[in-house]
């Protein structure tokens, strides 16, 4: 059992970081192992925000040598950035193994990213103009405080609380997922994909990379592939209902849109609230009530329902 949540403000920015934290903390009982956020701020022309990890949280308990290993991996990442002509405008390390870079890069970003991930232990969590993807072990409050998310201002976001049932308790298995070659895409998912390996091999034959064995990553790769090939987000969500087997409800965010899809059986819950200026959704209504305590009307989307909203 996991929890998913998302919200989007129409035509304005808000305290998306603290709003998502309140929603995800309300879903802690659905998944206490890890928490992840994909939040979208105001894009800055010509700049890329890159979030990456150079080790797993559990690696920090493996003796003093890990600190030198992390130092060497960061040095290699920055050497590769320089080799590809990228300029580092700022660098932060919320945790020793987790970094945030703002860079400029005029050339093939995909080639540069693939080169960085050749370094052992390095995984790019997100790269985009507006997207910042943060995920770590612990509940929403723990992760939010560690990464300063309560101060984040933006238009929309999605998030996930995870109970590990089919893979390890680690960051690479936590949601949300991001994928090449569409920079600002992120996905959270609740359910099981039964044709995961068939679809994964199809995506791998088309040149896509997978960083985990979690079936939810497939949805990010699938969506990124479709968007990069000119398919709209709404069309991609509709195609997924026909092409992906299993029981699932999932949310997708891009730099200026938020979308949702439910499979044919609609076995995985989602509750939705919609007004003129805010749309909020979650696995349980208690998450929406965490940011909207007043009397509101909510509804459960139907089977095969697809919705997309614009920021």
What are the catalytic residues?
2
Distance CA(20)–CA(38), nearest Å, equals 9
Beta carbons within 10 angstroms of residue 85's beta carbon = 11
Residues 6+ apart with CB under 8 A from 194: 245, 246
Widest Cα–Cα separation across the chain: 56
Residue 102, token pair as written in the block: 């703002």
DSSP string for residues in 31-78: --SEEEEEEE----TT-EEEEEESS-GGGGGS-THHHHHHHHHHHHHH
Residue 87, token pair as written in the block: 């300029």
Q: Are 121 and 170 in contact (CB under 8 A)?
A: no
Distance CA(54)–CA(57), nearest Å, equals 10
The DSSP element (H or E) to which 134 belongs, if any, is: strand 131-137
Instruction: Return phi, psi of residue 115, to 5°.
Output: -65, -45
Distance CA(160)–CA(44), nearest Å, equals 26
Residues in the chain: 311
Residues 6+ apart with CB under 8 A from 108: none
């Amino acid at each position: 059992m996991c929890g998913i949540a998302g919200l989007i403000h129409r035509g304005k920015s808000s305290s998306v970081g603290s709003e998502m934290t309140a929603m995800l903390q309300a879903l802690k009982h659905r998944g206490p192992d890890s928490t992840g956020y994909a939040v979208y701020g105001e894009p800055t022309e010509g700049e890329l925000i890159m979030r990456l990890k150079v080790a797993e949280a559990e690696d920090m308990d493996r003796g003093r040598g890990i600190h030198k290993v992390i130092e060497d991996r960061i040095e290699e990442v920055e050497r590769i950035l320089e080799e590809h002509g990228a300029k580092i405008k700022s660098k932060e390390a919320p945790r020793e193994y987790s970094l945030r870079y703002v860079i400029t890069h005029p050339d093939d970003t995909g080639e540069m990213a693939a080169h960085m991930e050749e370094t052992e232990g390095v995984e790019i969590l997100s790269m985009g103009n507006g997207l910042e993807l943060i995920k770590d072990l612990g509940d929403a409050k723990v992760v939010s405080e560690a990464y300063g998310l309560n101060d984040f201002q933006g238009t929309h976001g999605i998030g996930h609380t995870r109970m590990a049932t089919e893979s390890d308790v680690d960051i690479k298995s936590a949601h949300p997922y991001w994928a090449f070659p569409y920079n600002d895409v992120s996905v959270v998912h609740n359910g099981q994909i039964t044709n995961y390996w068939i679809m994964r091999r199809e995506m791998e034959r088309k040149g896509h990379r997978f960083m985990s064995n979690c079936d939810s990553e497939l949805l990010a790769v699938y969506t990124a592939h479709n968007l990069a090939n000119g398919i709209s987000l709404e069309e991609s969500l509709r195609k997924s209902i026909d092409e992906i087997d299993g029981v699932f409800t999932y949310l997708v965010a891009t730099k200026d849109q938020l979308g949702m899809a439910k499979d044919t059986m609609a076995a995985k819950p989602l509750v939705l609230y919609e007004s003129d200026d805010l749309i909020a959704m979650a696995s349980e209504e208690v998450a929406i009530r965490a940011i909207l305590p007043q009397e509101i009307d909510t509804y459960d989307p139907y089977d095969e329902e697809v919705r997309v909203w614009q920021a």
